[in-house]
């Protein structure tokens, strides 16, 4: 890898934040640079890091709600004040949780209220 992932990610985020940035041109240039450097296999990691950088810059959160069953309430009702107006959320059904849910905020904070998590804790 010619440059570290975080260097690519920071450069991409700064290009996106630039006032004169054309999204299509930024995307095209980004892909061209990765191909030139032989680093296109790392594109998904770079994009993920870039998203983290952008969220830190503007103070938004990414919240992932994984539940054992489909949610009966909307994620906005479940998350309440935890979810700001600019925050993004994802939901996923993970039957292996058995019951309950796991809430992850910005890949940093993890609140595990699943039955699987409780069983794993007992036997670890």
SS3 content of the chain, % helix, strand, coil (to 5): 55, 15, 30
Number of domains within the chain: 2
Of 20, 36, 58, the residue at which a domain comes to its end is 58
Do 66 and 118 belong together in one domain? yes
Report the SS3 class of residue 68.
coil
Domain assignment of residue 100, given as a range: 62-122
- pLDDT number for residue 63: 93
Q: Which helix (H) or strand (E) holds 26?
A: helix 23-37
Query: Is residue 47 pLDDT above 80, yes or no?
Result: yes
Phi, psi for residue 97 in degrees, rounded to 5: -75, -15
Do 15 and 49 belong together in one domain? yes
Report the SS3 class of residue 72.
coil
Percent of the chain with pLDDT over 90: 63
- pLDDT number for residue 90: 93
């Amino acid at each position: 890898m010619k440059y570290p992932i975080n260097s690519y990610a920071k450069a991409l985020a700064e290009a996106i934040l630039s006032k004169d940035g054309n999204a299509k041109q930024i995307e095209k240039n980004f892909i061209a640079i990765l191909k030139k450097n032989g680093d296109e296999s790392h594109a998904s990691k770079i994009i993920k890091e870039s998203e983290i950088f952008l969220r830190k810059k503007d103070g938004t959160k990414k919240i992932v709600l994984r539940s054992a069953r489909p949610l009966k309430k909307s994620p906005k009702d479940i998350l309440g004040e935890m979810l700001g107006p600019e925050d993004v959320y994802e939901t996923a059904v993970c039957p292996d949780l058995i019951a309950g849910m796991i809430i992850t905020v910005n890949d940093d904070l993890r609140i595990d209220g699943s039955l699987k998590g409780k069983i794993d804790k007992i036997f670890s």
